[in-house]
Amino acid sequence: MHILEKIVVKKREQLIKEKQLISLNEMKEKASALKSNEDKVFMNSLVYHDGLSIIAEIKKASPSRGIIREDFNHVKIAIDYELNKADAISCLTEKHFFMGSSDYLEDIKKVTSLPVLRKDFIIDEYQLYESKVIGADAHLLIVAILTDSELTEYLKLSEQLNIDCLVEVHDREELKRAVDAGAKIIGINNRNLKTFEVSLKTTEELVKFIPDGIVKVSESGILYSDAFYYMRDLDIDAVLIGEAFMKSQNIVQVFKEFRNG
């Protein structure tokens, strides 16, 4: 199995255990008891200002890099992101391969006013209600691990829950499926999730096929300022940047390099 398949297998095992602790009906009840999120707060943060928006990611580890940040303090990082005027935060909640946690997202929501994207591998409606319960303003839907019917269903349910969806694609076929399903925010992942190789050309090749009116995000591989400026020159609304921040001991300087070049 390639890494994406391994992650999905582990996620299915984890969900079985989680549902034994909190059933789907109980998770639905928890979600319905909460007040509604601010409408489209994540999507709006990416488009209603000049320049290229930054979704700054909080990520301790990854399958390709291992532990990325040893001195990992998710609360301090979130505060630093807001102080440096990130437009949104992405938080990894997948625990087995990325050492993430839903607790991280809940903690982050307490210390920042920025919209927060839940970055995980969503394969079950249970997780959509869970996103609501832990306070996510948006969550990731990866086309490669969902059927067409699941993708359409999860987009509709997320809209009912007032949670934005970043719909991730890797090629033309997945892009068409995302558009046909009604995605309003499409993320082009420059990383091949089967080989983990990265090419920024993926965004350049795919962005021209995204219809007008859909928010365009580029993900992965934006490690240095020249990559940021390369994306800025394409028809992109936002970039998701994780490793460049996580590997640096000076987040302020990284923001300056990206924004002032």
The token pair that represents 40 in the structure block? 């489209």
Q: What is the torsion angle, in degrees rounded to the nearest 10, for the CA atoms of residue 63, residue 133, residue 213 and residue 180?
A: 70
How many whole angstroms separate alpha carbon 91 and alpha carbon 118? 5
Amino acid occupying residue 209 = F
Rounded mean pLDDT, 194-218: 93
> Residue 88: is its pLDDT beyond 90?
yes
Looking at residues 94-112, what average pLDDT do you find?
97
Pairing type for strands 61-62 and 66-67 reads: antiparallel
Asked if residue 49 has pLDDT above 80, the reply is no
Residue type, 149: S
Tell me which of 48 and 185 has the higher pLDDT. Answer: 185
Q: Which of 41, 64, 91, 82 is nearest to 242 (CA)?
A: 91
CA distance 93 to 100: 4
Closest CA to 223 of 191, 183, 194, 195: 191
pLDDT digits (tens, 9 = 90+) for 106-165: 999 999 999 999 999 999 999 999 999 999 999 999 999 999 999 999 999 999 999 999
Q: Is the pLDDT of residue 261 over 70?
A: no
pLDDT in tens, 52-68: 999 999 999 998 888 99
In order of start, what are the domains of the chain with their CATH numbers?
Answer: 3-34+41-259 (3.20.20.70)
Average pLDDT taken over every residue of the chain: 94
Indicate the pTM of the whole model.
0.96
Q: What is the largest CA-CA distance in the chain?
A: 51
Handedness of CA 245, 4, 1, 170 (dihedral sign): negative
Site of tokens 């509709």: 156
Closest among 187, 202, 164 to 239, alpha carbons compared:
187
Residue 17 burial (10 A CB sphere; 0-12, 13-18, 19+): exposed
Ranges of H-type helices in 135-222: 148-160, 172-181, 201-206
Alpha-carbon torsion angle 203, 56, 238, 181, nearest 10: 70
Measure Cα distances from 252 to 41, 82, 134, 222, 248 in Å: 25, 11, 28, 16, 9
Contact yes or no for 54/260 (Cβ under 8 A): no
Given this model, what pLDDT does residue 1 score? 67
Among the residue ranges 1-5, 96-100, 162-166, the one predicted with the least confidence is 1-5
Q: How far is CA 95 from the centre of its chain?
A: 15
Region 33-41 average pLDDT: 84
Distance CA 156, CA 94 (A): 23
